[in-house]
Amino acid sequence: DTAVSQTPKYLVTQMGNDKSIKCEQNLGHDTMYWYKQDSKKFLKIMFSYNNKELIINETVPNRFSPKSPDKAHLNLHINSLELGDSAVYFCASSQAEGNGYTFGSGTRLTVV
Amino acid sequence: AQSVTQLGSHVSVSEGALVLLRCNYSSSVPPYLFWYVQYPNQGLQLLLKYTTGATLVKGINGFEAEFKKSETSFHLTKPSAHMSDAAEYFCAVSDSGPGGKLIFGQGTELSVKP
């Protein structure tokens, strides 16, 4: 059983398109996150949700819109994709401060 | 603001040699510290964590790290490198609060030579 699952694993799309990445966790965790890993492998938080409530929004362009229908799901919708959005996007979840995260396997987004 | 610095973007060791990956942090509050490993085309896997208590923390795959408050360090070590240890390693510090974010260092790529 996969603890944090993301779909799709790979996504290739043209500039200007709109796409979504889905994330689900079966760990019963209260908090979910989206992180972006750039081409230099640097990881930066984008969003954090706690029990469906947005906690952190780290100066991400408003073309990115997270949605959490319930505490087990956190989806990421991206409008008007740009070349610079190409990256690996990781979903993660955690139960409590200090416990660390459980990460999904990532979605490699390529915008052409 | 919290931050993490990993010294050396690339470390190369011979199989059987000591692995030492360096991490220094800055935090205005007692930190929670983590090491993660990322194998090619995979997600991040937690190696070990420090929250409170014993400053020498043992993790998976024979890795351990020591929290040194006076040096603001949390270096990762393994006595004997194995070929399968080749990967990217990330040190991270946790922000506080229920939605607390992990702040990552820039990563260190470990290569293991036969």
Closest CA to A53 of B81, B93, B97: B97
- Residues on chain A touching B42 (C-beta within 8 angstroms): 105-106
Tell me phi and psi for residue B2, to 5 degrees.
Answer: -85, 150
The per-residue pLDDT of chain B, averaged, comes to 91
Q: What is the mean pLDDT of residues A47-58?
A: 86
**H or E segment to which residue A111 belongs:** strand A107-111
Q: Which residues contact A27 (CB under 8 A, 6 or more apart)?
A: A3, A4, A93, A95, A102
- Measured between beta carbons, the chain B residues lying within 8 angstroms of A7 are none
> How does pLDDT run across A12-50, given as a tens digit for each residue?
999 999 999 999 999 999 899 999 999 999 999 999 998
User: In the Cβ-directed half-sphere of B61, how many Cα atoms lie within 13 Å?
Assistant: 18
Mean pLDDT, rounded, for B75-90: 97
Chain A residues near residue B99 by CB distance under 8 angstroms: 31, 48-50, 55-56
pLDDT at position A56 is 79
pLDDT digits (tens, 9 = 90+) for B6-53: 999 999 999 999 999 999 999 877 788 999 999 988 899 999 999 888
* Cα–Cα separations (whole angstroms), residue B99 to A101, A109, B33, B94: 11, 25, 16, 10
Q: B interface mutation test: which of A25, A88, A103, A108 has the most B CBs within 10 A?
A: A103
CA gap B87, A10 in Å, rounded: 21
Distance in angstroms (rounded) separating the CA atoms of residues B2 and B4? 7
Nearest CA-CA distance, residue A15 and chain B, Å: 24
Tokens describing residue B58:
């043992």
Q: Does B51 contact A at CB distance below 8 Å?
A: yes
pLDDT at res. A99: 72
Q: Which residues of B30-39 are buried (b: 16+ CB within 10 A; e: fewer)?
A: ebbbbbbbbe
**Highest-confidence segment of A54-63, A97-106, B41-50, B90-99:** B41-50
Please report, for residues A34, A104, B101, the alpha-carbon distance to residue B59 in angstroms, rounded to integers and kept in the order given.
25, 20, 21
Report the residue of A9, A39, A46, A48 to disrupt the B interface, i.e. the one with the largest count of B CBs within 10 Å.
A48
- Which residues 16-45 of chain B have a CB within 8 Å of chain A? 32, 34, 36, 38, 41-45
In DSSP notation, chain B reads --EEEEE-SEEEEETTS-EEEEEEEE-SSPPEEEEEEE-TTS-EEEEEEE-SS-SEEE-GGG-EEEEEGGGTEEEEEESS--GGG-EEEEEEEEPSSTTPPEEE---EEEEEE-
Q: How confident is the model at residue B95 (pLDDT cuts 50, 70, 90)?
A: low
